[in-house]
Copies of this chain bind each other. A is one copy, B any other.
């Protein structure tokens, strides 16, 4: 075996899509180069638990190179790719370093979308990375600190008001978890206010929560949140976000803390390709996840807009879809790479297309509360929550992480406490336009 004839498979992104491509190539005679801007694979479904102090960053993040410790045909680099040159078959890093590919898999994921208002991001952070979640946790915890030091009742109430924009799974989970954090964990710790009065408002532009799930689950989620004391506002569109709060038409909601979970936008890398994108900036791929005209270049996961070969519907932007696309493309490259690069069998039209198998959808609302759609059946409450917990533990990568997450949940569940209530630095230091308001002199204790 002459090493120089081994083709190079470059994978951009170490998320659910990218790592599964690499895993499927473990026996293939290829060199795999996996590039990611961070050094860790992130279990995004539990990111909201880092933001609400249940878990710590290391519980849901795992070093990518550790995953491939024993798979010697994979080399991992921490690198930010800013451009892809399809004509020259290279990917380009921030500093100009180029990596040549024979096969390319773009699995760069998506960021938060502010629907044409990027300036809102400074005030209303989204939740896509560990850094985002740490920052949100700091903001939420600092709001309680500010309330303790505040003597003006109206300003204090604004500190204790939390607005979550977007009624998808992240928004539902986040608003439930913030209310629980306030009631279970924070309440006994403060002297100058009743943390149970913390006011969480969940704003959704559409007519129901969790619109990818069944009507029954949407309604169950809404009922559960309202019983917990979360204010749910449907058919409500945010028209402005600034330091003082949120605008909804002419109504202003005064708050310190706006969290954004309202929409996604594919990685800006997609724009550098010069291929057709959909309205969310996603790469419109063929039936085999390849790019039109480039049978050895694929886009998978949240960066792609793929159509299921079986149902002819759009593949949803969820983890299982990214995993399945990763497996599909990995197997495809493993098979075709045997033929050599001059072979014509890498023909997009001849490939069996990608089909998404929907195993069901789960969303959690809080302690012993969740909803599940499994085929035509809908579950809610404790059983759905147990199922949610098992599924999430099962798909977490790494023995240590599974043990620690399970233990973190057990402690949190039994002791009604949140273990990771650590504010790192100044949680507002990255806010660009924030004007620090005057703090009123403290009342004598």
Q: Which residues of A contact B (CB under 8 A)?
A: 8, 31, 33, 38-40, 56-59, 61, 63, 65-66, 69-70, 72, 75-79, 95, 97-100, 130-131, 134, 141-142, 145, 148-149, 188-192, 399-401, 403-404, 407-408, 411, 415, 417, 419-425, 438-439, 441-442, 444-445
Q: Which of these, B70, B189, B422, contacts A57 with CB under 8 Å?
A: B422
How far is A400 from B415 in the complex, measured between Cα atoms in Å? 9
| Contact in complex: A33, B441 (CB < 8 Å) | no
| Contact in complex: A423, B40 (CB < 8 Å) | yes
Instruction: Please indicate the chain B residues that have their CB under 8 angstroms from the CB of A149 in the complex.
Output: 77-79
How far is A100 from B8 in the complex, measured between Cα atoms in Å? 69
Nearest-neighbor residue (CB-CB) of A425 within chain B:
B131
Copies in the complex: 2
How far is A400 from B53 in the complex, measured between Cα atoms in Å? 13
Q: Which of these, B40, B69, B77, B191, contacts A148 with CB under 8 Å?
A: B77
Instruction: Please indicate the chain B residues that have their CB under 8 angstroms from the CB of A31 in the complex.
Output: 445
Known contacts A58-B422, A421-B63: A445-B131 contact under CB 8 Å: no
Closest 5 CB pairs of A and B: A58-B420, A65-B189, A56-B58, A78-B145, A63-B421
Question: Nearest-CB distance from A44 to chain B (Å)?
Answer: 14
Known contacts A58-B56, A442-B77: A411-B403 contact under CB 8 Å: yes
How far is A78 from B421 in the complex, measured between Cα atoms in Å? 13
| Contact in complex: A130, B422 (CB < 8 Å) | yes
| Contact in complex: B424, A130 (CB < 8 Å) | yes
19 further A-B pairs in the complex, CB-CB below 8 A; given A63-B421, A77-B442: A33-B445, A39-B141, A39-B142, A39-B421, A39-B422, A57-B424, A61-B422, A69-B189, A75-B191, A78-B142, A78-B423, A79-B149, A95-B438, A97-B439, A97-B441, A131-B424, A403-B407, A404-B407, A407-B407
Question: Nearest-CB distance from A397 to chain B (Å)?
Answer: 12
Question: Nearest-CB distance from A151 to chain B (Å)?
Answer: 11
Interface class of chain A by DSSP = mixed
| Contact in complex: B419, A400 (CB < 8 Å) | yes
| Contact in complex: A8, B75 (CB < 8 Å) | no
Instruction: Please indicate the chain B residues that have their CB under 8 angstroms from the CB of A59 in the complex.
Output: 56
Question: Nearest-CB distance from A46 to chain B (Å)?
Answer: 14
How far is A149 from B98 in the complex, measured between Cα atoms in Å? 12
Nearest-neighbor residue (CB-CB) of A66 within chain B:
B189
How far is A79 from B146 in the complex, measured between Cα atoms in Å? 10
Known contacts A439-B97, A441-B98, A442-B99: A63-B400 contact under CB 8 Å: no
**Most B-side CB within 10 Å, residue of A58, A76, A408, A425:** A58
Known contacts A439-B97, A441-B98: A65-B403 contact under CB 8 Å: no
Nearest-neighbor residue (CB-CB) of A186 within chain B:
B65
| Contact in complex: A134, B63 (CB < 8 Å) | no
| Contact in complex: B95, A423 (CB < 8 Å) | no
Instruction: Please indicate the chain B residues that have their CB under 8 angstroms from the CB of A99 in the complex.
Output: 442
How far is A377 from B63 in the complex, measured between Cα atoms in Å? 43
How far is A162 from B270 in the complex, measured between Cα atoms in Å? 39
Instruction: Please indicate the chain B residues that have their CB under 8 angstroms from the CB of A33 in the complex.
Output: 445
Task: Write 22 A-B pairs (CB below 8 A) sorted by A numbering.
Answer: A31-B445, A33-B445, A39-B422, A40-B422, A56-B56, A56-B58, A57-B424, A58-B420, A66-B417, A69-B188, A75-B148, A76-B189, A77-B148, A77-B149, A78-B142, A78-B145, A79-B149, A97-B441, A130-B424, A131-B424, A399-B415, A407-B407
